[in-house]
Amino acid sequence: MSLVIADEVVAALSEGRGVVALESTLLAHGLPQGRNLEVGARLERIVREAGAVPATIAVLDGVAHVGLTPEQLERVCSPGLAKLSLRDLGPAYALKRDGATTVASTAALAHRAGIGVFATGGLGGVHLSVPAGSASWDVSADLDVLANTPVTVVCSGVKSILDIAATVEVLETKSVPVVGYRTDYFPGFYLRESAHTVPWRVDDPAEAAAVVAAHRTVTSSGVLLVNPVPVEHELDRDLHDRLLSDGMALLQERGITGKDVTPALLEFFHNGSGGTSLSANTELVANNAQLAAEVAVQLSSR
């Protein structure tokens, strides 16, 4: 009753063709008005051109939709949608709300619909502690969902404003395989490389699909396929490090903590980089949609 799958997606799944899930929080909360609709349409076009079917996911009037019409996509890109993680789906259904789905809720709904590949920008992770050196209990639900949902998430690691070391450790503890796409390092979203290596590397979509297919015979957890931001769109490292340092100081000065940390830092990066960070965000998620579609096509051929 609370899930509607678009006819095109149903047909593709029944015929064994590749399908790629796309989240809606990026559009509703991660990009400015106007540009978000342009990016949403572009992502769907990229997936189609690579031979797969896109399934953007959102909740509208208390019903989860897997695959949106152009009119529904416009609605998702309009102001006022709630941000829905997995814990929020039940209340949104019951109260008949509109909401954009996060990585956690998108992965769960994609799996319920029978979709095994999902493209996004960055995975949620362990948040940096504010003030520095204190314990951080702010851990994204994305990590638990990935540990328990057999969906392959294609992303550019986690945002470098998060605690990458702690996030990598949690993924290891939860037995989520992290596979680098043409990289030996865990990406830092705006940066192609962090200080942390990945345990496995693949160099083409066929290898990635083989790893995913083999993993599915072992356990029911997801796979994290990390794909660095294209080199021409990487944020200058010196600028990045300065913005991160200044941004953390600003958080402490203003007493910003908890769920408000990430939005505040992202806005600080956008303003401080003259919009360069927003361009990096847009291009890396487009690159991830391309790779996810190629992997989904390879999996369908198996």
Catalytic residues: 23, 159
In whole angstroms, how far apart are CA 157 and each of 46, 206, 255, 284? 20, 21, 27, 11
One-letter identity of residue 70? P
